[in-house]
Amino acid sequence: MYIDSHCHLDRLDLTDFDNQLDNVVAAAKQAGVEQMLCVSVTLDAFQSMADKTAKYDNVQISCGVHPLNQEDMVDEARLEQLADNERVIAIGETGLDYFYAPETQEVQRDAFRKHIRVARKLNKPIIIHTRDAVEDTLQIMREEKADEVGGILHCFTESWDMAEQAIAMGFYISFSGIVTFKNAAALRDVASKVPDDRFMIETDSPYLAPVPHRGKQNQPAYVVEVAKMLSDVRAQSVEEIAQLSSDNYRCLFKLAT
């Protein structure tokens, strides 16, 4: 069985699914994807995301503000209050994205630090989004002692050097459909090097549909394609990839097997 370590169920266009989120979760189950983490991107949308997913025992949620959704400074007290809920197993997604929003670097860094502080206070792992911001991401992780709670570098696209440094701080590296893209040879090389007890798989759906579904809306069921690619590059069976990545997810979030 597979676990999708990162998806945005509340952002899917449900017209493909008879307007029922049930059908998304059922399609995932049909494909062997039995658990998923639905990741928060704004505090304003958090409650509705929590409500929409509340009836699914196999859907965990996070709480946080995406680095590209920061019109204002993050309200640390509000983040802590919303995240202090037993269904919330992780803080984020947070982090730094200098590729799409270099003009908000300072606000992003401030928010990232606040998320790590709240994560340590509530003792929950952190979901980190990082793009074109390697040095600052690692430096803030160190300065704010992110290693105390650990977490996931999600939708990883950076170098093995960065992966290694994050792993040393107790982080896991999660690969998305990007690893299936034709031009992603360097990323596949990174994916071949991550230790067995340090990788996860994700869709980041509805974005980034993997090959052979490119151009379509992504969904948790497609995480199987990410597992197939990792099976190729790591020379392990798909079953092994599924088992290891699921074990790693349960280990980080202290969930029963």
- Per CB under 5 A, residues contacting Zn ion are 129, 204
Q: 102 or 197: whose CB is closer to Zn ion?
A: 102
Q: 40 or 246: whose CB is closer to Zn ion?
A: 40
Asked if 167 contacts 195 with a C-beta cutoff of 8 angstroms, the reply is yes
- Tokens read off for 63: 């709480």
| Shortest Å, Cβ 129 to Zn ion | 3
| Shortest Å, Cβ 115 to Zn ion | 13
Q: Label residues 70-82 b or e (16+ Cβ within 10 Å = b).
A: beeebebeebbeb
20-to-12, 50, 53 alpha-carbon distances in Å: 10, 16, 12
Closest residue to Zn ion in the complex (CB): 129
Asked if 76 contacts 97 with a C-beta cutoff of 8 angstroms, the reply is no
For residue 209, the SS3 value is coil
| Shortest Å, Cβ 50 to Zn ion | 16
Asked if 34 contacts 58 with a C-beta cutoff of 8 angstroms, the reply is yes
Q: 74 or 234: whose CB is closer to Zn ion?
A: 74
Q: 90 or 224: whose CB is closer to Zn ion?
A: 90
37-to-91, 107, 162 alpha-carbon distances in Å: 11, 26, 24
| Shortest Å, Cβ 257 to Zn ion | 25
Residue 171 Ramachandran class (φ > 0 left, ψ -120 to 50 alpha, else beta)? beta
| Shortest Å, Cβ 200 to Zn ion | 13
